Amino acid sequence: MSSAADSANPGGFQAFVDALDYPVHIVTTAVDGERAGCLVGFAGQCSIHPARFVVWISKANHTHRVAARARFVAVHLVPPGHGLAELFGSATGDEVDKFATAAWIPGPGGVPLLSGVPAWFVGQVLDRADWGDHTGFLLDPITARNDPAHATALTYRDVRGVEPGHPA
């Protein structure tokens, strides 16, 4: 639905979005031994009591196809300047095994937990919602690890130059 403001300034929304700088995350998941992971720009806490988090994954991604069948998803903070953002943002799991070069350990349900990140949590998938070119995955956090001494997170502006493995 558009409004008079949209008609008067069609670039207004894009200008608003361009002014934002929010954290990016790496999402990982696994089903039946198939691992997947990607860099995501849309994610956030959506409830306090009970604790809930939602992450949106592009339908074009290999990770989406695996997460659509998964019971668990891990969400990782990525420190600035970390090579993981390039690996998980510009390579596609359709062509590359990202986990062959990334250090990780198995978590609940075999979900890959990346080493060298300041924080991560694993959430049980409670719901999936189709929201345009992305699917929202509603997560119930079941376990987490946090290193407060290194909790600076990579942001959207930090990764604007990363060429995506798939179009959004």
| pLDDT surpassing 60 at residue 5 | no
Check if the beta carbon of residue 47 is closer than 8 Å to that of residue 121.
no
- Three-state SS for 80-102 is CCCHHHHHHHHCCCCCCCHHHCC
pTM of the predicted model, to two decimals? Answer: 0.86
DSSP 150: G
> For residues 75 and 111, what is the distance between their CA atoms, to the nearest angstrom?
10
Tokens representing 56 are 């949106």
Higher pLDDT, 112 or 18: 112
What is the residue-averaged pLDDT of the chain? 88
The 10s digit of each residue's pLDDT in 35-88 is 999 999 999 999 999 999 999 999 999 999 999 999 999 999 987 776 899 999
* Residue 166 confidence (pLDDT): 65
> For residues 123 and 102, what is the distance between their CA atoms, to the nearest angstrom?
21
Assign 1 a pLDDT band (cuts: 50, 70, 90): very low
